[in-house]
Amino acid sequence: MQKNDQIEIEITDMTDEGSGIGRYEGMAVFVPCTAVGDRARVLVLKVKKTYAYGKLLEVISPSPDRVENDCPSFNRCGGCVYRHISYTSELRIKQTKVYEAIKRIGGVDLKPKDIIGSDSPYRYRNKAQYPVAGDGALGFYAFHSHRIIPCSICALQPEIFGKISAEVTDWIRENCISVYNEEAHKGLLRHIYLRLAEKTGEIMAVAVINGENLPCADDLVKRLLSVCGENLKSVQLNVNPAKTNVILGDKCRVLYGGEYITDVLCGVKVRLSPLSFYQVNRATAEKLYKKAAEYAEPKGKVILDLYCGAGTIGLSMAEQAKRIIGAEIVPEAVEDARFNAKLNGIANAEFICADAAEAANILSEKGLKPEVVILDPPRKGCSPELIKTVAKDFSPERVVYVSCDPATLARDIKLFGELGYTLIEYTPVDMFPRTAHIECCALLCRAVAPKPLYRETRKALSSRVRKISVMCRLSPKSLNFLRAVNR
């Protein structure tokens, strides 16, 4: 097999990134936009020693999982990878992906509970971060690149985001706004960042700039108001002069409205700033947090919530818990978490500004002994040092681990296992339909040493030993052996 060959293969599996896998002459061939069960004609694009990459030319015989693709940007913008198969098939693939990671990497052959899907795979995202192309169009980066694919209308985003995107593009072009070029590190406007509080309808729009001021800002606000009406509650500038791939800088300035918008999650009012972490799929996040609460059994317990963000997971359990302690490294998120506790009249929650490992050490030195530790780390998972602190210093009854990467979850489950914690149950949760991403909520429990026999039981056993010795005429040596076993 060589580059530019056209081959015919059957797709038998899927990669973690959503590409189909077929075999040709014993070699694996990875082909995007294919489905398990497809018979396909493929153009070979690249050949390595043990595998190759291909491009789909024709579906000769379609998989029963196939559906009609409904997005013109599919396989170009780097977002969706499963728009060509049914949502039921996607959930099955993701459930298998989690199980295989737990078994292969974590070393635990325990099947997951049934995956929790989203109510709809459409319009579920409450946040969009649009890079700005040189011609002023907003879009998304192509897969594994920083090439911008114009995409003002996205089936994952609320319809209002598409209207805002089109209006912002007109504003950029009509006012000749300078657009940032990341290679030259010149130009002004880098990203347009939008947030929607689904429960309240409040909208936030943020212009991320390589500078201090934005020309024609009043006109931008006027145009946004014409599209959003009274739902527009905040327009801000975010200053990011750094030569970096990180989208947001540290400094924000209000152009219109307030500094925050407010949403409601699991009955808890949540204040959101531009820098706050918040789950992008609110409806499914409620399902995820309810599962976390089910695993935590928070009633009357002290709960430590590491990587707490704006405090949403911990605060959703505060009514039942004895005490909530949250830790987060982003100061603005900690401020939001404290405000959210006050906003909801929650007096038994406190929040620390520190990274998870540092906060764990601080609390350990103070002698804090939480009965439940909640972990919701970024994609890279937890450090071995943090896991050791949780398992050895805190030694909670339960660890509830919310993960956005099955591989790092499995790795950390193995580390917890080496420190005496057993994976009891885990549930995949599809927070990001049509993409390759999958969340998971796992429960780990501390192994408990067997309790000593009650005194009454020991007496009964001693009596039985004496009876056995009389009936069987045991020698003194045998009798001593039975007594030793009884101890």
Residues marked as catalytic: 404
- CA 400 distance to own-chain centroid: 14
| CA 372 remoteness from chain centre | 20
What whole-number distance in Å separates Cα of residue 384 and Cα of residue 317?
Answer: 27
